[in-house]
Structure 1
Amino acid sequence: MLKTHFKTIVISDVHLGTRGAKAKEVARFLKQYSCENLILNGDIIDGWQLKKSGSWKRKHTRFFNRVLKMIEQENTKVFYLRGNHDDFLDQILPLQIGNLSILNDMVYESHGKKYFITHGDIFDSVTTNFRWIAHLGDIGYTFLLWLNRQVNYHRRKKGLPYFSLSQYVKGKVKSAVSYIDQYEEELAKMAKAKGCDGIICGHIHKAENRVIDGVVYLNSGDWVETMSALAEDHEGNWQLIYYNQISFKKSSEDKEMDKIVNFPVTDYKTVAFGKLPDALDPKKFFL
């Protein structure tokens, strides 16, 4: 199958080690596309949850197997940037092994523009200065995701479509909306202070592609709910790609499996680049 080739792909907030991580989906996404540079922008592994109640599964390992194949077979350069949930990387960064670099943050230059790339938690005073509050927020979000699974289990039985309870709840909290706005504005200011044309981040699980006071603000979203990524084409244009809007081509093996288990084949929309509906925008306090 001929893959769509990008110059750079950015994903963040996969949270491997948690039940909410869409490990299969993100691995399938990376099989669909190829790129010169793959930037894993923090919270790829959720060390916080693994220390508590999380568990590492085979599908989580398969994600890294896919990344290694991209390095070996496609000569992709991979940059793994530290997030707050994978802060255990502090013990080894900076580190470079062949085409794999593990860093705190980086400056990316393309088509005459400079982008400061960081997970984003360093600018979050709640996470940085009041770690116990951040953990409390993490517990609340984990509970929302658990409740979300229960709600959608019963919705599926009734033939109803997927509904993101956690995104709906966060979207209704005014302080969360204010927090998101302030976060985006502060990161845009930081990029300008560093002499960059744009900022690329994650952390708040809210995919975005917009301009703030002349600075390009790009957020790759997450692979817990939104399932989104940033992609740069070879002309320097950035796009948001949503997993649920990708038209995947099924292999003959996949089609045979569909017949065996009698699952209907879902008709996916073609890729559309743009923002999620406002009602589905995840506005999250502490991540």
Structure 2
Amino acid sequence: MSDDLDETPDAPITPERTKTKLRARTVFISDVHLGMPDCKAAQASHFIRNTMCDKLVMNGDIIDAWHLKRLGGWNKSHTHFIRTVLKKMEKENTQIIYLRGNHDDILDRFIPIRLDNFLISDEHIHHTKDGDYLVVHGDGFDHVTTNHPWIAKLGGIGYNILLRVNRAYNWYRRIRGKESFSLSRWVKLKVKSAVSFVGKYEEQLQELAKAKGCVGIICGHIHSPANKKVGETHYLNSGDWVESLTAILEYDNGEFEVITYDQFCERTNREPKGYATVAEVDQSVKLGVENVTPAM
């Protein structure tokens, strides 16, 4: 036989997945909490970089000044997030609207500010074909944050401790091949007072929207993504980039969707960005401002 017949056939080539970008008219994100060790800045940057939109609304608590004042924790991935947003404004001519939240309330002394395509304010009216939507962070309807800020900050410390415990627990679950588990979300679902708080929060915000002649409200603050009707008002909550990893998309046809980071990766054929290991995040806490980046 000839040498050609003796050759082993090459293994079939698996076609590489074609990466795409999402297209939306408007993107709403909130509660990134840059400066916190548990902030998923790499994933948030990945999402923003690969989503095309005319307007990006950052609805409060993008920077966590409370945590930075106490412990620090800023790293390269947090700086990269800021650069990603600014590059989007410069290269894609995206309008950027930054609304203050309770963790970045240092902005109160400066707002409103408008610089070309960049606006910093405390609220925004978003126009759609079906009517106007009021966009606010929502901390004004949290009576603890509004009336007892020291209790809110104490609660923030407790939340950080819970996240630290959750981080170690999820690391253990990952090495055993199990999915991540959110302790804080479990608490919200199981504790009656937490469930009652969320319900009252939603009702108060829909009343505010009605008072301003809006058909809907878009908020954040409570880290509970939602897309539903509360009374006659369309209530949307963009969630957070600490645990939920969610955002709101408004499409060109006027439809709204709450999308998760995993759904984004699946639709765009992109590999999810990795999470920092327990050791890396703990090192971040010890060093304050440092150069630890999430493991890829």
TM over 0.5: yes
User: Runs ≥4 in structure 1, deviation > 4 angstroms?
Assistant: none
Contact residue 19 and residue 54 of structure 1 kept, 8 A: no
- Residue 164 to residue 112, structure 1, CA distance change in 2 (3 Å): closer
Contact residue 99 and residue 137 of structure 2 kept, 8 A: yes
Contact residue 45 and residue 85 of structure 1 kept, 8 A: yes
Cα deviations by residue, 1:9-46 (Å, 9 ceiling, x for unpaired) = 00000000000100000000112211000000000000
Q: Does 1:191 align with 2:212?
A: no
Q: What letter is aligned with 2:120? A: I
Q: Per-residue deviation at 1:165?
A: 2.0
Q: Does 1:161 align with 2:179?
A: yes
Secondary structure of the corresponding residue to residue 108 of structure 1:
strand
TM-score by length of 1: 0.85
Q: Does 1:55 align with 2:68?
A: no
Secondary structure of the corresponding residue to residue 168 of structure 1:
helix
Which structure: larger Rg? 2
Which structure carries more relative contact order (alpha carbon 8 Å, separation 6+)? Answer: 2
Distance 1:81 1:159 in 2: 39
Q: What letter is aligned with 1:176? A: A
Q: Does 1:148 align with 2:189?
A: no
Aligned to 2:282: none
Superposed CA RMSD in Å reads: 1.4
Q: What letter is aligned with 2:222? A: I
Aligned to 2:41: 23
Distance 2:188 2:141 in 1: 20
Count the aligned residue pairs. Answer: 252
Cα deviations by residue, 1:150-179 (Å, 9 ceiling, x for unpaired) = 111222222222122222123211100000
132-141 or 161-170, which deviates more: 161-170
Q: Percent identity?
A: 48
Contact residue 125 and residue 134 of structure 2 kept, 8 A: yes
Q: Does 1:204 align with 2:222?
A: yes
Unmatched tracts of structure 2, length 5 or more: 1-18, 273-296
Aligned to 1:249: 269
Distance 1:112 1:167 in 2: 32
Unmatched tracts of structure 1, length 5 or more: 255-287
Cα deviations by residue, 1:71-125 (Å, 9 ceiling, x for unpaired) = 1111100000000000011121100111010001111111141011100001111
TM-score by length of 2: 0.82
Distance 2:241 2:53 in 1: 19
